[in-house]
Amino acid sequence: MKRQILTRDEKRAIPFILPGVIVTALLIVYPLIYIFSMSFTDQSAGGSFSGLYNYMRLFRNPQFTKTVSNTVKWTLSTVVFSFLAGCVYAMLIHRKGIKGKGFWRSTIFIAWIIPGVVKATAWKWLLTTDGGMANHILVSLGIAKEPIPWLTSPRFAMLSLIIVQVWACAPYVMLMMTAGLQQLPADLYESADLDGAGWFKKTWYITLPLLKDISFICILMLLVWAINEFSLIWIMTSGGQNTTTLSLLVYNQFKVLNLNAASASAVMQLLVTMFFAVLYVKFVVKEEDA
């Protein structure tokens, strides 16, 4: 018997989901189509079709190459260290004998729930070269002989941004990994104890394999957030001191009304994000088929 395209319940659900689909189309689909069309037109020629001219000009721009390099450095560093820090938080709090687990989780999670603008502004004050609390503490303890230019030197600016991003994103990983750790079967660890396995072997052969799916989701989310991060970098350095990423490049081009170049940059940023999303979808499908 041939199955109907839509069941009776699915037809009844259409009026309820249609408003959401329309809003999504207006707020997401239409702007995407508009950005794509703008990236293939020439504003100086009255909006005529220009092919790949905007993309070729973007690739020939020395600033674009440096921006891509900064984006890769920023993304890889924040993702790796955020994930590792979150895993360490989760495993330490999950250990037996730790008192006040809820208190420690809540304290660490504050860094995640604080609005991004507030976090960036607070850290900018803390890392100010003259009068910042971080330099005051370091100089007072004798760790640094003079104030460190955290946000005004190419040597420290990117490092400072990475530290703040890791501090802000690690609590999300901690929350996800904690939820996963609480669902792990205890009998596997009891069997490992009977076999004389130590902490490292139990972590490597039991904990990490069982948390593989959660780990992949965390890494994917961290990648998307890192690639699209704007407010933190803009508030703290405004892209100066060699900290301009793709999101800031798009903004700077829009700010000077270079809409076609900005659209091309935005499409490139979207393609990078979609690359990781496609990897995730293929990974999930492969796991389900297996």
**Domains with residue ranges and CATH for the chain:** 64-289 (1.10.3720.10)
What is the phi/psi pair of residue 153, to 5°?
-135, 135
Q: Which residue has the tokens 């109907």?
A: 4
Name which residue leads in pLDDT, 290 or 82.
Answer: 82
Confidence of residue 49 (pLDDT cuts 50, 70, 90): confident
Q: Which residue has the tokens 């707020």?
A: 27
What is the phi/psi pair of residue 49, to 5°?
-65, 130
pLDDT in tens, 252-265: 888 877 888 888 88
Look at residue 34 and give its three-state secondary structure. helix
pLDDT in tens, 63-120: 888 998 999 899 999 999 999 999 999 988 888 778 888 888 888 989 999 998 999 9
Give pLDDT, residue 285. 61
Confidence of residue 44 (pLDDT cuts 50, 70, 90): low
Does position 46 have pLDDT exceeding 80, yes or no? no
First to last CA, the chain: 29
- Mean residue pLDDT across the chain: 85
Does position 3 have pLDDT exceeding 60, yes or no? no
Note whether 190 and 257 are within 8 A (CB): no
Residue partners of 122: CB distance under 8 A and separation at least 6: none
The model carries a pTM of: 0.83
d(CA 131, CA 134): 9
Cβ burial 58-73 (10 Å sphere, 16+ → b, else e): beeeeebeebbebbee
What is the phi/psi pair of residue 184, to 5°?
-70, 140
Does position 1 have pLDDT exceeding 50, yes or no? no
Q: Which of 39-43, 127-131, 228-232 has the lowest mean pLDDT?
A: 39-43
Q: Beta strands 41-42 and 48-49: pairing type? A: antiparallel
